[in-house]
């Protein structure tokens, strides 16, 4: 059965997330980061930031909050039981500082079939309060046996 | 110098403890029970609970960032998830700087556990100089 590609290009309501100093600490500790820029406001201020900065991969925290519900969109029609996260890319424009409000826009970039697998590719663009892009990401989900 | 064309980067070794996936679930908001509930994981055909792929990717990002000299230098990272990572077994992230052009270094990385590449085809870009 071919995959349904009608959701290609679909966009979803953007979501906003306020980056918190202690959430950055919690994330940094869970992934083993020890850089004081993530953990110590004084060290971050000495480096020219208003507060601690987030590790680059902290982007998953604020993006997932907006994107995860869209993976269940019936028009996308992904079979979750057979889904695996196949690939991931991030492009970072600059570090994100605790206290910033980040708005993430989610869209379905592509859906196609290859070797009996469905490929569902999402794109997310996260912007700061000035509307400048801070992180762009591409999320590839594979569904076996479509 | 950790970033030099044709040279390996400094390796990163990390052993996630048994409860790490629970802490990462809370920190990241990814509460898929395949990472935290052994009964559920085995019911869906997995050998045991498995690591979050994005936690493993974060280890690749950490190796890249540490070698680059800090998060301000890191521009991009793309990976493919293959195989499964498990708690309580050491993971090694290694890599090689393949090119340095116009102030941007390209680094190819891999994360392995028990000889199995759990993150492969990882390509990072960092600013240098």
The string of pLDDT tens digits covering residues B2-19 is 899 999 999 999 999 999
| Least confident piece of the model among A56-60, A113-117, A123-127 | A113-117
B57 pLDDT band, cuts 50/70/90, is: very high
Provide the β-strand partners of residue A92.
Answer: A135
Element (H, E) at A80: none
Is the pLDDT reported for residue A83 higher than 90? no
pTM (2 d.p.): 0.96
Share of chain A above pLDDT 90, in %: 90
A85 touches chain B (CB under 8 A): yes
A1 pLDDT band, cuts 50/70/90, is: low
Is the pLDDT reported for residue A2 higher than 80? no
Provide residues of B within 8 Å CB-CB of chain A: 14, 20, 23-24, 26-30, 44, 53-55, 57-59, 61-62, 65, 70-72, 74-81
Residue B54 and residue A138: Cβ atoms within 8 Å? Answer: no
| CA distances in angstroms from A41 to A9, A19, A59, A93, B24, listed in the order given | 41, 14, 19, 22, 23
């Amino acid at each position: 059965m071919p995959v349904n590609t009608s959701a290609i290009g679909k966009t979803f309501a953007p979501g906003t997330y306020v980056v918190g100093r202690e959430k950055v600490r919690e994330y940094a500790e869970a992934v083993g980061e020890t850089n004081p820029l993530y953990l110590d406001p004084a060290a971050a201020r000495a480096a020219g930031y208003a507060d601690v900065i987030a590790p680059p991969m902290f982007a998953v925290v604020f993006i997932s909050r907006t994107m995860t519900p869209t993976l269940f969109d019936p028009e996308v029609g992904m079979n979750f039981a057979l889904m695996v996260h196949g690939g991931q890319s991030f492009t970072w424009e600059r570090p994100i500082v605790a206290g910033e409000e980040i708005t993430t826009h989610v869209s379905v970039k592509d859906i196609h079939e290859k070797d009996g697998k469905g490929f569902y590719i999402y794109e997310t663009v996260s912007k700061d309060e000035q509307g400048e892009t801070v992180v762009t990401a591409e999320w590839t989900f594979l569904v076996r046996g479509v | 110098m950790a970033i030099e064309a044709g040279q390996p980067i400094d390796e990163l070794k990390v052993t996630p403890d048994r409860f790490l996936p629970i802490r990462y679930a809370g920190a990241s908001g990814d509460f898929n029970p395949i990472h935290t509930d052994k009964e559920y994981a085995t019911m869906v055909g997995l050998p045991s609970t498995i690591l979050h792929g994005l936690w493993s990717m974060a280890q690749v990002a950490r190796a890249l960032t540490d070698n680059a000299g800090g998060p301000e230098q890191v521009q991009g990272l793309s990976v493919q998830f293959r195989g499964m990572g498990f708690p309580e077994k050491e993971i090694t992230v290694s890599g090689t700087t393949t090119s340095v052009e116009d102030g941007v270094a390209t680094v190819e990385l891999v994360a392995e556990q028990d000889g199995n590449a759990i993150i492969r085809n990882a390509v990072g870009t960092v600013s240098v100089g």
